[in-house]
Amino acid sequence: MGKNFETLEHQVWLPYKFSVGPVFNRFFEGLKEGKILGNRCPKCNKVLVPARSFCPECFVDMGDWEEVSQEGEVVTWAQANYEFFGAPAEPPFIGALIRLDHTDCNFLHLVGGFDLSDIDAVKSKVKSGARVKAVWSDVKKGHMLDIKFFEPE
């Protein structure tokens, strides 16, 4: 059963218009200006970045905005060596969670700026705890990839 039946191929494409809202909008405006903006929960005092509209734990509106440090530590990372849908770059590239200094959550982004062809060399450069610093694109459009990557110091 089922050996010689045909397959019907079909693609579905759908358009979307996501509402950005005032908080994310301001975060993206910050990127355009070369700034990374977080905000602080008035209840638990945590600084979250990228900025949020509400604190997930306290369930209250976030309070004061802060321009956060563009340097931090790698918390964890992974090197992509294959192509996949929605990938931010051609492989090989490194995705990571980075704790920017004086913030209370991890920032998802890329680590780069050096040769990725030798995995052992990469591992010595990018361990957990490694210090990294944001490197920006020349053209900024208000998009997460306005930051090109974080480069190890």
Sheet holding 65-67, edge to edge: 47-48, 37-40, 65-67
Segment 40 to 99, residues that bind other proteins, using CB under 8 A? 48, 50, 53-54, 56-57, 59, 75-82, 84-88, 95-97
Nearest distance from residue 11's CB to other proteins, in Å? Answer: 8
Judged by CB under 8 A, the stretch of 1-9, 63-71, 130-138 that binds other proteins is 1-9
Burial 102-121 (b: 16+ CB within 10 A, else e): ebebbbebbbbeeebeeeee
Q: From CA 153, how far away is CA 148, in angstroms rounded? A: 15
Residue 42: asked if its preceding bond is cis (omega within 30°), the reply is: no
Nearest distance from residue 80's CB to other proteins, in Å? Answer: 5
Segment 119 to 148, residues that bind other proteins, using CB under 8 A? 119, 127-128, 143-145
Footprint of other proteins (CB under 8 A): 1-5, 7-8, 10-12, 14-24, 28, 48, 50, 53-54, 56-57, 59, 75-82, 84-88, 95-97, 105-110, 119, 127-128, 143-145
